[in-house]
Structures are given as C-alpha cells and as structure tokens.
Structure 1
Amino acid sequence: MGLIKAIVGSTTTAFGDQFKEFVNCPTISKDVLIQRGVVTHGEGNKNHSSGIITNGSTIVVPQGMAMMLIENGEIKEFTADAGTFYYDTSSEPSIFTGILGKGIIDTFKTIGKRFTFGGQTAKDQRVYYVNLLVNAGNKFGSPQAKKITDEKYGMLEVTFFGEYSFRVIDPILLVNNVIGANPSDTIFFEDIIGSQLHSKLIEQITQAISIVMRKNKVSFGDIGMYGGDISNELNACLDETWKKLYGLLITDVALNDINLTDESMKKVNKIDEATIFSNKNLQSGLMASASADAMRSAASNESGSMMGFMGMNMAGATAGSVMAAANAKSDAEGYKKETNQPEVGQVFKKEPNDDNVEVSEVPENKRCSNCNEIIFGNFCSNCGEKVEK
C-alpha cells in the first residue's frame, strides 16, 4: 500500500483511464479545517464499491492542503506535498487492474470477504484533506471587564477587542482527535473550538497581555504594539489544548481596542495628576502653557484686557507660591544628596571660614507701593496696582 507521485506529462494518461477513481478536494471556505475528498468513478467502472479506493486510482492534493487516506478509522497514507499521486497497492484491488492473473486472485479474495460480511465490503477507505493555510480575521472580545496588572497604575479592569490568526501544524493529530467525535464530511473551525474553548481563549489572552506588560515594562496604552509577543505567550498558555490536542498554533494577535472601566479611568487620572504636580519641570510646562492661553484670551478681549492680565497675574502669583514651595523642597533634597550634608546630631569636623569667599545678597521681594503686599509679577495681586520699574 502506498502513494506514487505522478511524473509530469503522465497525468493525461491517468485521467483517460476510465476504470479507476479520481479523488480531489472540492472548493472550500477559509473556515473549513477538514474536508472529505470527492471520489469520481470511471465511466467503465459500473460496479464500484462505495468507500473503496482502488489500486491505481489518482489522488490530487491542492496547494496548501494535506491529504490522508483513512482505512477503518486508521490513517494509512499521508502527504503534505501538493501534486498528483497514484494509489499503488490498495487493500481492495480493482477487478480491472492488470491482466488476468494476480488481479483475479485478489478479486476472489475480496469477494470472499464480502460474503463473510453479508455481501458488503469489509473495508472503509476515505480520503480527507486538511487546510494548512493561515486562517486570519478571527474576532475575539471580552464580554466582561478583565483584570490586568500595570507597572505604573497597578491593578486595572479593561475590556478589549481584536482579531487573531492560526494555522494547523499537526494535521494527523487534528484528524485523529476530531474525526471520531465528529464524522462529518466537512468540519469547520467552530465545530472544534466551540463556546468552551473560546471562553478559555479569552481568559488566556488576558493572562498573555499581563505577562507581556510585565516582561516589557509597558503600560496598557502601548500594549497594542506587542502583538507578536502576545501570540507567543498565548501559545504557551494554550499549549495543552490547542497545540497538543488539536495541533493548532496561534500565529498573530491584533488588539484593535483596549478600554478602561470608569473606576480604572479615575484611578489612572488621579495617579497622572499626582505625577505631574510632583515634577517641577512638568509644573513649569503647564504654567507656561496656561499663561500663553491666558495672554491670547486677554489680547482678543478689547474691553477686558486689563482685567484679564490682572487675573492672569493673580493666578500666576498663587501658582508661583505653590511651585516655589515644591521647588524649594526638591532643591533642598537635591543639595543634601550632592553635598552629603550630615544629619542633625552627626559628629563632624568644623572647617575654618574662608574670609575671601564673596557673599551675594539675596534681593528683597518687591512690594506694592499702594497696599504694601508682596508682588510676584508686574501687577499687584491684591489691588491691581502696576509695578514701577
């Protein structure tokens, strides 16, 4: 029993033999994983047996497909090479095979078996094709919020949607575990996955996202750029079911959208605000942006430009006080780290003063000539008096 690949140029002769079967795969959609081959009998073979592939029959394997011949539930022949093959030695040889001699003896043996089984064949041979092409565009989504761990924000609840691609990497394993439970001629991807494995897929995608975020130290907003890493982690999570049970491999995962729940969004905003106000550089940037917006607004207001500038200076004075306090604390901490200044109570050697060191005077704060309040800008924040230079 075996397959012999047809030599180029000999196909026409094989097709012209009307006493053999011709087995081919019908046109299938991308979501079909397994398809039973269609057997066309020769016009001269009027007494063919259903479920029997006779000796010398032609089997065509299209590109991107694997073919296997199953006899009584057992895989007998397999090929993943595209091309035309001749079935060399069938367990049920045709009566039209060869000249009188061995073919007749084999025919008598076959007829003897059929008498034993009530006139029916004792063999059941089928050809199945397995789709090896990448199956893309399979949608997934989380019906409920899932928890992920973010390096910056901690535990967050998110919903996500996207698509994934997969392909068959072990067609023998797939057919062996599927055909017995689902002996249909056409088996779709959904027939294998079903709701149970699909729910498990969503759970494993959640786990894969968290693993990639932790390994690459990325936040949830940038996770969409790590589709390849997610697919690798997902395959590791699905190894026991998809790969070892069905011979399937996830090739790519694309996250189209990932959204925070309302509570998680509030948490993220709160942490972002705290981060901004603890960084003096970010504070300065916000102040500069706010001042520029206020100046543009005041310039466009003909009747209230003076009041606009007064309000801007009042806001600037208040914000300046806050920033000054924050900067003083930050500068003091930085100075302490740079000079290694000892803590209170620490024993240290007193160094003599250098009389040649020049001491610069600290300029006094400007005060309003009208109300004597301290002025931080060009206008008094208390009475609005303009500062005289």
Structure 2
Amino acid sequence: MGLISAAVGATLGTLRDQWKEYFLCDALDNDVLMVRGTKVVSSFSGNKTGSNNIITQGSGISVANGQCMIIVDQGVVTEIVAEPGLYTYDKSTEPSILVGDLNEAKIREVLHVMWERFKYGGDTGHDQRVYYFNIKEIVDNKFGTAVPIPFRVVDRNVGLDLDVSLRCNGVFSFRLTDPISFYENVCGNVTSQYDVSQIQSQLKAEFISALQPALAKLSDLAIRPYAIPSHVAELCQAMNQELSRKWTQLRGISVVSIAINSVTLPEEDAKMIQSMQRGAALRDPAMAAAQLAAAQAEAMKTAAGNQAGAITGFMGMGMASQMGGINAADLYRMAGAQPQQYQQPQYQQPAQQPQYQQPAQQPAAPAQQSWKCSCGNVCTGKFCPECGKPRPSANWRCACGTIATGKFCPECGAKRPD
C-alpha cells in the first residue's frame, strides 16, 4: 500500500468531486501536537454507512504546510508524509516515506521495523486511521529555576575559579522531528487530539533538570553568568545533547531555540566576585597607584573640612600615610620598572635591512717610552741590552737638594748628571 501524489495543477475542490472519500486536517494551533484526520464522504461514494476506520482504495488525503500525516494500520504505522500536497491512497504500491526536513534516518529505521511487523501479521487491515502531527515550532514554553542551580565562574584574566548559585528564567521552543516515535511512545491512538498541556509539565521538569549540566558546559568555556543570554546558541546545542536520549531518541522532540530573560546571582555571591576581580586588578602597580592617589585626594578633601581644623585633619592623614608604608609615587616607580600588561601595544616600525658594519678594531697596546743609554744605544726596557746599565730614574736630586725631573735643576740651574 502507498500514496500517489495527485496532479500538481489540480485543486482540492476538483479532486473532491473525483474521490469517493478523502481525509483532511484543519489548521493546527500552537498548543496542539496531534489530531485524528477528518474523513469526508462524497456524494459518489457508496460507503456512506461504512466504518471510519477503513480507508477505501483510491481515497484522497490532503497534507498542509507544517503538518505530517501518518496512516496506522492495525496499530502499525505504514505511511508517513511530511511534504504538503494532495495524495491518492493505493493499496497496490509500497509504503510511502516523504518526510521533508524531519529526521529521515530515524524515521526510516523505525518504519522499517514496523513494516516488517505488519507483513508478519498477514491479513488485510480492518482498523486504519489517519493522524496529523503539528511539525511547526511550538513556541512560548516558559521555564524558570525554582531553586538556585550551581554554576562555576571562571575568569582566567584574574585567576578566578569559584562556584556560585544562579537563577534564570526564559522561554524555549521545540519541534516534533520524529512523529513516529512520538506516536509510539507518547500519544498512541487518541480519539480526537493530543495537546501540549498533556506533556508540558513533564517537558519542563526534564528541561530544568538538563539545564544544570548544559550550563556547566558553558562555564567550561569561561563564559560569565551575566554573559549567558548572549550565548544561547551554545546553550541550545548543549541542551539537545543532554536531552538526546529522553527527547530526541524516545519522543522524537528537539529543542529549537532558547531565550533567557534574566540571570541573577545571590547578592553575597555577586559582591564576592566583584571584590575578587577588583582585588586582582590592583595587582598591577600602576592601577594600585591610581587607586591610592584617588583615595589620598579624597582624604585631603575630608581633612580640609575637619571640624577640629584642617591642620588636625592633615596631621591625621599624614600619620595614616606613614603607617601604610608605601605611597603612590613608590607604586608608580614599580610600574615603570615592570612590563606594562595593560597598555596598548606600541606601533613598531618595520624592521630595516641589516647593514654591514666594519668590525671594531682592538685598541693598540700603549707603546713603551724609549730611553737612550750612555753607551749610545736606544732602549725600551729597564736595562740596556748592550752594556747592561739600568734605566735611569725619571727623578734626580740636585746638589742644592731640589728633586728635579728635567735636564736642569729648576732652582739653581745645575745640569742633570749623566
């Protein structure tokens, strides 16, 4: 059995006159997940008193946008169509699997098992039903954390690694991506329709339960609590991973989007984080100096307005400054001696081509002063190499008692003896 697409140019009104019976579904609201198809019998059909659980050969079936239709034969899904159009029911063809953008691999796997089970049964079915599923995005599902959930705050800039508690609320949307699994494991054969309210409390409880490990994955990315609303794409992916077994595999449901309205921390946790971040920022001497200078300026204003007199106020401020052991000038000097981590990188000129430089010449050793021996030989050492006489001293004593260095005495004019 199977479904054959009707002529593309034909309208439903034209085909209604040709089909003896046809099935259709009105527009599905946001709070409706599944309805049973409505069977309409035309004036040409002789089956006006027949059962609604039998699909006559050649019957027409209409599928609208945002809908997925399945045919259940004796409790087994034998047909599935998620592409809009008009189809004719034909028992002589193979089952139809037209799933559009749904989870085709999962649907084919489940339908294959059910079809094998159906063929094993043998006889032609006597209980056939048509169901329509809402495969549009189901929006405006509100959630909120009734109790705070733990969240790890990591700030590598200041070396912060802290566990805090946070609350959050918002809305999420989901979509049926595997209607067969939803039919088998959730709704089953319903008399008329299956609403979101029948499963909403269960979905919200499981959503909140999966929120904690999903937020833990965001904390591993060093995302701060107040930055979570700007990372909803990562959060949505993490939620689908956490809910894969219960939602995707079991019920055929996937999370489409998440919108976070607010993220709040307890006041004591928020103050503790701010205090640690400010304290870590003051590890930079320049920032600490600026903070101290601002505090000193404020203290000077307070001292000037002291009721006991400005002199008393400034004396107290001076004593407090001495007890502190360090001042802003010391911190600025420390900052100047250290690499500045918080300055903008300076523009660097492009490296120039290295130029060849002449190797520096070693300074020549100072030449020893020469002297002339009495034998006429010019010498440089302490003794004459020809006669062996020692080098005469630079200083000599004159007969008048004066210590002279030249050839003549500066006092009496006597000549230096040879």
Question: Shorter-chain TM-score: which interval?
Answer: 0.5 to 0.7
Inter-CA distance 59–334: structure 2 relative to 1 (3 Å threshold): closer
Following superposition of structure 1 onto structure 2, how do residues 111-126 of structure 1 map, counting pairs within 5 Å?
Answer: 123-126=126-129
The alpha-carbon deviation at position 62 of structure 1 amounts to 0.4
The alpha-carbon deviation at position 192 of structure 1 amounts to 3.1
Superimposed CA distance per residue, residues 303-329 of structure 1 (whole angstroms, 9 cap, x where no aligned partner)? x9x96xx87x959x8489454565677
Inter-CA distance 245–334: structure 2 relative to 1 (3 Å threshold): same
SS at match of 1:244: helix
Following superposition of structure 1 onto structure 2, how do residues 4-19 of structure 1 map, counting pairs within 5 Å?
Answer: 4-11=4-11, 12-17=13-18
| Equivalent in 129, 133, 145 of residue 130 of structure 1 | 133
Q: Which runs of 5+ in 2 are unaligned?
A: 94-123, 155-159, 341-418
Inter-CA distance 294–327: structure 2 relative to 1 (3 Å threshold): closer
Is the contact made by 2:289 and 2:331 (CA closer than 8 Å) also made in structure 1? Answer: no
Superimposed CA distance per residue, residues 279-317 of structure 1 (whole angstroms, 9 cap, x where no aligned partner)? 33333454576688899999xx9xx9x96xx87x959x8
1:55 matches 2:57:
yes
1:154 matches 2:162:
yes
The CA distance in 1 between the partners of 2:81 and 2:218, in whole Å, is 38
Paired amino acid for 2:150 = K
SS at match of 2:27: coil
Following superposition of structure 1 onto structure 2, how do residues 220-231 of structure 1 map, counting pairs within 5 Å?
Answer: 220-231=225-236
RMSD: 3.8
The CA distance in 2 between the partners of 1:323 and 1:60, in whole Å, is 81
Superimposed CA distance per residue, residues 318-352 of structure 1 (whole angstroms, 9 cap, x where no aligned partner)? 489454565677778879xxxxxxxxxxxxxxxxx
The CA distance in 1 between the partners of 2:193 and 2:295, in whole Å, is 66
User: Partner of 1:38 in structure 2?
Assistant: 38
Is the contact made by 1:277 and 1:283 (CA closer than 8 Å) also made in structure 2? Answer: yes
User: Partner of 1:187 in structure 2?
Assistant: 194
SS at match of 2:199: helix
Following superposition of structure 1 onto structure 2, how do residues 222-241 of structure 1 map, counting pairs within 5 Å?
Answer: 222-241=227-246
User: Partner of 1:3 in structure 2?
Assistant: 3
1:259 matches 2:239:
no
Greater Rg over alpha carbons, structure:
2
Structure 1 outlier segments of 4+, above 6 Å? 288-298, 328-335
Inter-CA distance 259–4: structure 2 relative to 1 (3 Å threshold): same
Following superposition of structure 1 onto structure 2, how do residues 195-234 of structure 1 map, counting pairs within 5 Å?
Answer: 195=202, 197-215=203-221, 217-234=222-239
Is the contact made by 1:280 and 1:323 (CA closer than 8 Å) also made in structure 2? Answer: no
Instruction: Indicate the structure with greater helix content.
Output: 1
Paired amino acid for 1:137 = D
Per mean C-alpha deviation after superposition, the further-off stretch among 219-228 and 260-269 is 260-269
Paired amino acid for 2:210 = Q
Is the contact made by 1:141 and 1:161 (CA closer than 8 Å) also made in structure 2? Answer: yes
User: Partner of 1:169 in structure 2?
Assistant: 177
The alpha-carbon deviation at position 143 of structure 1 amounts to 0.4
Q: Which runs of 5+ in 1 are unaligned?
A: 92-120, 336-389
SS at match of 1:208: helix
The CA distance in 1 between the partners of 2:192 and 2:295, in whole Å, is 70
SS at match of 2:132: strand
SS at match of 1:126: strand
The CA distance in 2 between the partners of 1:290 and 1:129, in whole Å, is 71
SS at match of 1:149: strand
Is the contact made by 1:54 and 1:90 (CA closer than 8 Å) also made in structure 2? Answer: no
Query: Percent of aligned pairs with the same residue?
Result: 29
The alpha-carbon deviation at position 77 of structure 1 amounts to 1.1
The alpha-carbon deviation at position 200 of structure 1 amounts to 2.5
Inter-CA distance 211–323: structure 2 relative to 1 (3 Å threshold): farther
TM-score (norm 2): 0.61
Inter-CA distance 90–273: structure 2 relative to 1 (3 Å threshold): same
Is the contact made by 2:35 and 2:192 (CA closer than 8 Å) also made in structure 1? Answer: yes
Paired amino acid for 1:58 = G
SS at match of 1:226: helix
The CA distance in 2 between the partners of 1:157 and 1:188, in whole Å, is 35
Following superposition of structure 1 onto structure 2, how do residues 50-89 of structure 1 map, counting pairs within 5 Å?
Answer: 50-89=52-91
Paired amino acid for 1:177 = N
The CA distance in 1 between the partners of 2:300 and 2:140, in whole Å, is 52
Inter-CA distance 294–187: structure 2 relative to 1 (3 Å threshold): farther
Is the contact made by 1:150 and 1:210 (CA closer than 8 Å) also made in structure 2? Answer: no
User: Partner of 1:385 in structure 2?
Assistant: none
Is the contact made by 1:213 and 1:223 (CA closer than 8 Å) also made in structure 2? Answer: no
The CA distance in 1 between the partners of 2:302 and 2:22, in whole Å, is 83
Is the contact made by 1:41 and 1:48 (CA closer than 8 Å) also made in structure 2? Answer: no
Paired amino acid for 1:62 = A
The alpha-carbon deviation at position 129 of structure 1 amounts to 1.2
Length, aligned pairs only: 298
The CA distance in 1 between the partners of 2:282 and 2:58, in whole Å, is 82
Is the contact made by 1:53 and 1:90 (CA closer than 8 Å) also made in structure 2? Answer: no
User: Partner of 1:246 in structure 2?
Assistant: 251
TM-score (norm 1): 0.65
Inter-CA distance 293–51: structure 2 relative to 1 (3 Å threshold): farther
The CA distance in 1 between the partners of 2:333 and 2:300, in whole Å, is 28
